[in-house]
Chains A and B, each alone.
Chain A
Amino acid sequence: MAKLATRPQPLPPAVFHLLLALRDGEQHGYALMQRVEQLTEGGVRMGPGTLYGAIKRMLADGLIEETDERPDPALDDQRRRYYRITAAGERACAEEVQRMETLLRNARKSRPKLGHAG
């Protein structure tokens, strides 16, 4: 946990995608998978192994936490596990966005045509 706070490093893509998806609110595994696909416009389709591998790591790093609350218990399967982003997760996500923005800004400065293909 402290490692991320003291020494910001690039987040693995799967972790970053999941943090972005969880900024919309707590979600279960399948909803997360769909949200990531939406966010990346179909570019990233996570399978269960990749998804839960990343979730396990994020739980261990304190970036997300499991929650017992259900958005609508009547409509939902009680066996599903819901996750929500923590303050550390929000911070890590913001740092990653910042890092990417800097990178993109510098990339565009050095090659003005980048990002304006076609």
Chain B
Amino acid sequence: MTGERAYRALLFLYPRRFRREYRDPMLQLYRDALRDHSQSWPRLAGDVVMSVPVQHKEAFRTMSTQGKLLTASVVITIAIVAFMAVGGALFALALMLVLAWTLARLLRERDAQPSSGFWWKLSLSGVGVFAAAVLFFGGPWLQSWRDEVPAELGWWSGMFIFCTAIVMIIAGLLSGVVQFASRRRLSH
């Protein structure tokens, strides 16, 4: 039963829509396979590890442009911060370029249709997050609270928030540029 609970927990790694549709049959199959000893637990867990990225890729492919942009932004922001932790600023800079390239590519897809106000809402949200972070980390009124937070944790959370803000601004502006360009193309 513990094994089934662990397998059930592993199923949370799949995209929500896939999980909603196939969680029950997958659990049934898991029970059948273990009952007949046709597959071992590590093998079944390995199958989850192998098939989860495929399903996420599939889910990403069928997402709306906004969803794609936001997902790519969040994933790459996490990667940027993680790389800064292990590899330094050069890796982070390289990832920023990957991000810009990924976003531009997503927006150039033939069926990319960012809604009209999306770019400025996203950019403005990024500016808002940036301003809030500056006030929070630089303002004098939260000094006592900041002193209680371990320096390491404070630095990394600060980095994460700043990176998120920058990524949102970049994504928003790129979105705007692509929208502007596609409008011009349509009008000619």
Do they bind each other? yes
**CB within 8 Å of B: which of A65-106?**
77, 79-81
**Contact across chains for A80 and B25 when beta carbons are under 8 A apart:** yes
- B51 and A47 contact, CB distance less than 8 A: yes
Interface residue range, chain A: 20 to 34
Query: Is A30's CB under 8 angstroms from B24's CB?
Result: no
How many interface contacts (CB-CB < 8 Å) are there between A and B?
66
Give the contacting residue for B29; candidates A29, A37, A53, A56; CB below 8 A. Answer: A29
Number of interface residues of B (CB under 8 A): 25
Bound CA–CA A94/B26 (angstroms): 29
- B contact residues around A79 at 8 Å (CB): 24, 28
Residue pair A33, B33 in contact (C-beta under 8 Å): yes
B4 on the interface (CB 8 Å rule)?
A: no
- B46 contacts the other chain (CB 8 A): yes
Interface residues of A (CB under 8 A from B): 29-30, 33-34, 37, 45-53, 55-57, 77, 79-81
B residues with CB within 8 A of A: 14, 18, 21-22, 24-26, 28-30, 32-33, 38-39, 43-44, 46-48, 50-52, 54-55, 58
